[in-house]
Amino acid sequence: MQTFIASNSKEFAQQTADFLFQRFVQKPDLIVALAAGETPLLPYTRLVEKLIHERVDLSRCTFIGLDEWVGIPPDNPGSCAYFLRNVVLDPLNIKSDRFKLFNSQAADLQQECRNMDAFILSRGVLDAIVVGIGMNGHIGFNEPGVSAKKYSHVIDLDANTKNVGQKYFSEHTALSKGITLGLQTLLDAKQAILLANGARKATIMRKALEGPLSIEVPASIMQQHANGFIFMDEAAAGELTMKQNGA
């Protein structure tokens, strides 16, 4: 694992954007899975601006959505699909055959999971996967207690996730299940990038990075990844005992 600790949220966003930008430049046919949410919003915004400004050819790249709330339509502003389309895919003019998002309204969600895994497998493996971390240590919708050997799957959401998730919706929304890439998908990816900012994430980041590897803190799986990269601001890194920046 390499850690990159920025002095503030703006620097965090720029460091993350610069790192991801280089992935696209170095591999014109990059296959990348992207999380939605508050944490990656500014990093993605900076990344998109730079990709457009530098006129990087993305025509051979493939974008994958990390997860989705089951039953929430893609035109709902609280959905992960809505976020990724508006923040990344549409601004970059990514064509529909170059990205795949979970259809969380599919009649057969297990088949939807198989379709996602097959889509990725048909292209090899993920070159990079970008994830955030929940207050309960989840990444994607891989909730505490989940098996580390799962690929795409449907899962019952933790109470914490259901409560925190309300912030993405304009009115109270029933959230019960999620559909997500699994921890095995993350381990198989050539690079895994975990993002965290804000003091509220300090305790869970300490547990994830310095605590024991445990399914009760799913993000601790990052300790096992051969090419794991952690981007934080100082607030999120506030409880770490070792604060060594990566090179």
- What is the residue extent of each domain of the chain? 2-233
Q: Is 67 a catalytic residue?
A: yes
Burial status of residue 221 (CB atoms within 10 A of its CB: 0-12, 13-18, 19 or more):
buried
Return phi, psi of residue 39, to 5°.
-60, -45
CATH topology for 2-233 is: Rossmann fold (3.40.50)
Is 162 in contact with 78 (CB distance < 8 Å)? Answer: no
pLDDT at 111 over 60: yes
For the segment 181-207, the average pLDDT, to the nearest whole number, is 97
| Residue 48 amino acid letter | V
Which of the following is catalytic: 18, 136, 156, 216? Answer: 136
pLDDT at 246 over 90: no
For the segment 108-137, the average pLDDT, to the nearest whole number, is 97
pLDDT at 64 over 70: yes
Q: Is 18 a catalytic residue?
A: no
Q: Is 197 a catalytic residue?
A: no
For the segment 170-193, the average pLDDT, to the nearest whole number, is 96
